[in-house]
Amino acid sequence: MFFHFDPMYFVFLAPAFLLMIIAQFWVKHAYASGMQIPSRLSGAAAARYILDEAGCQDVAIEEVPGTMSDHYDPRSRVLRLSSEVYRARTATAVGIAAHESGHALQHAHNWMPLVIRNAAVPAATFGSQAFSVLVIVGMLLSFARMYSLGINLILIGVALYGLVLVFQLINLPVEFDASARAKRILSHYQIVDGDGAVAVNRVLNAAALTYVAATLATLMTIAYYLWRIFGNSRN
């Protein structure tokens, strides 16, 4: 059933792949363009100012290697910025720094969607790993003529993979809210001018599209396996 090339897999995943390509191109273009627009503060300075103004002086800011490796770690309450974002005085740098600061503010205020998302991380990790194992084992059993058992294992794997989709759906409003906070804060404190605000919008909107594309890819993967299982059963 599953041990052959199936072009329908690419038909199902094509919308997500196309959206991801568009998102990645948009991110790279917006990132590079925003790096050409100056800001009065560096990414690190903007993050420190935002956090201090919000009463989050206990949140540390660290410089980390890599590109687009910026993230907020709620376990250690540390905001980690890539070297380019940490040091640059540009719209891209302060936009990304403000976005990650937005996550720190969500955490400080115990914003419920973030609390739920963080609690869902172990389940999503387990679901992803179990899906890979169960699908492979199920395929092998199906190939070995143990068809019913194999299909049942694949179906369980797909159901567990649904935990990843649930996590991603919860994560979308968390990311959108962090970007919305960043835009408001940068405007309120006049960290960027009009051109800088436009550049920040482009960078953060492009980044948000990557999350939408990843969620769509997960949804269409689940849809493909369900179609293969139940479509084959009807046949």
Is 1 a domain residue? no
Residue 144 confidence (pLDDT) above 60: yes
Is 2 a domain residue? no
**Global pTM?**
0.90
Q: Can you tell me the mean pLDDT for 173-202?
A: 95
Q: How many domains does the chain have?
A: 1
Read off the pLDDT band of 235 (50, 70, 90): very low
Order the strands of the 60-64 sheet from edge to edge.
Answer: 60-64, 78-82, 71-73
Number of CB atoms found within 10 A of residue 113's CB: 16
Read off the pLDDT band of 183 (50, 70, 90): very high
User: Alpha-carbon distance 104 to 190, whole Å?
Assistant: 20
Is 222 a domain residue? yes
Is 109 a domain residue? yes
Say what the pLDDT of residue 4 is.
59
Read off the pLDDT band of 3 (50, 70, 90): low
pLDDT tens-digit readout, 25-55: 999 999 999 999 999 999 999 999 999 999 9
Q: Which domain holds residue 88?
A: 7-234
pLDDT tens-digit readout, 97-132: 999 999 999 999 999 999 999 999 999 999 999 999
Residue 234 confidence (pLDDT) above 80: no
Instruction: Report yes or no: 81 and 44 within 8 Å, Cβ to Cβ.
Output: yes
Say what the pLDDT of residue 225 is.
93
Q: Exposed, middle or buried by CB within 10 Å (0-12, 13-18, 19+), for 35?
A: middle
Residue 171 half-sphere exposure toward CB, CA atoms < 13 A: 20
Residue 2 confidence (pLDDT) above 70: no
Q: Nearest 5°: phi and psi at 61? A: -125, 125
Q: Of residues 53, 62, 84, 100, which has the active-site annotation?
A: 100
Task: List the structure tokens of 7.
Answer: 């072009």
Q: Can you tell me the mean pLDDT for 178-184?
A: 96
Active site residue 53: no
pLDDT tens-digit readout, 72-100: 999 999 999 999 999 999 999 999 999 99
Decide: helix, strand or coil at residue 81. Answer: strand
Q: Which residue has 């679901």 as its token pair? A: 127
Residue 232 confidence (pLDDT) above 70: no
Say what the pLDDT of residue 115 is.
95
Q: Which residue has the higher pLDDT, 155 or 144?
A: 155
Instruction: Report yes or no: 2 and 229 within 8 Å, Cβ to Cβ.
Output: no
Is 60 a domain residue? yes
Is 205 a domain residue? yes
Residue 178 confidence (pLDDT) above 70: yes
User: Alpha-carbon distance 9 to 16, whole Å?
Assistant: 12
